[in-house]
Amino acid sequence: MPAEILMTAEGYNDLKKELEMLRTVKRKEISEKIRMARGFGDLSENSEYDEAKNEQAIVEAKIATLDDQLKKAKLIDKGQISTEAVSVGTTVTILDMEFDEEMSYRIASSVESNHSAMETITDESPVGRALIGHKAGDIVEVLVPSGNTVRFKIIGISL
């Protein structure tokens, strides 16, 4: 994971809310599941207890990950984002030159992409990485995971 994670204030706040929910609501739910499972008897053969403990481990790992991401976050001030070139925080409209199909995507950090209702491309994805830094009118070739090269023309960049 990079030393610094670029993200919007909206993405940062979404991560903070998720972290708070995990620390309060989810931990309490799991604690109750463990307490109930202990009441079923022998822990060595108690699948409910094992399941609750596994869920606890997953939640604690997620909490640690979110905590680390928030510590590494560098907030992007929307007022300082330029629409001269594609960057994290911009929305880019591209034309798939093979299929003559126009699409718009918000460029987001990989951390916040899962937390947005909008269509996003992460800055670490092949397409996102290729688009970053390019300007409207540029044609960008992207080697996608399938091994094919896809060509996009950048139609516009906005906030």
CATH number at residue 42: 1.10.287.180
CA dihedral 83, 90, 119, 8 (to 10 degrees): -160
| Mean pLDDT, the chain, integer | 89
pLDDT at 62: 96
User: Mean pLDDT throughout 139-156?
Assistant: 93
Distance between CA atoms of residues 45 and 93, nearest Å: 56
Same domain, 36 and 50: yes
- What is the C-alpha to C-alpha distance for residues 78 and 157, in angstroms, rounded to an integer? 14
Is 88 found in the same domain as 134? yes
Per-residue CA distances from 98 to 27, 88, 94, 120, 125 (Å): 49, 26, 12, 21, 20
pLDDT of residue 117: 54
In this structure, the number of other CB atoms found within 10 A of the CB of residue 92 comes to: 27
d(CA 60, CA 42): 25
pLDDT at 115 over 60: no
Asked if residue 71 and residue 11 are part of one domain, the reply reads yes
